[in-house]
Amino acid sequence: MSNTCPPSNTQQPRTKSACRLYCRYCHNNVCTRGMRALLLADNRIELFSTDMPPMMRIQLVGADYTTRSCRCKIRNVACLGCGNEIGYHITQPCSECLKACNNGHFWMFLTESVYPVELKDPKNCTAIAWLCHPQENEFDELSKLICRDAICR
């Protein structure tokens, strides 16, 4: 698992690499489609984000809160493998943030709490660009596993 995504400041969003994200504490796969990003409120803060809810891998914890920089409602998320808080979810974006340049990513993972593994094309071992990585429905992923398990019995 030595492949990592390049820093976000070296690539345009369309060519950023897609990554799987893993919890640093228990190595649980917490996101199947992540990418490096910069915090809108402070471009010096790098994190990982996704536009897909990482169902069945993380849990919302605590109550919604806001920050000093905007009125977005935010709730922390914890890894279901170990219970450690690893990021946050913007449960209700504020009007200013919706008007600002954003990518629709409302699930954020802290770089100190997760690590990335760059997704590679199995045909030629090149990095898969964010926009070329399909949005998988994680419920479909789970149902495939359940169906495969039922067939094997």
Output the pLDDT for position 87: 95
Q: Where are the domains of the chain?
A: 8-152
What CATH class has 8-152? Answer: mainly beta
Picking from 97, 45, 36, the residue whose alpha carbon sits closest to that of residue 70 is 97
Residue 63 has pLDDT above 90, yes or no: yes
Output the pLDDT for position 102: 63
Picking from 109, 107, 116, the residue whose alpha carbon sits closest to that of residue 5 is 116
pLDDT of 17-47, one tens digit each?
888 999 999 999 999 888 888 877 777 889 9
pTM: 0.73
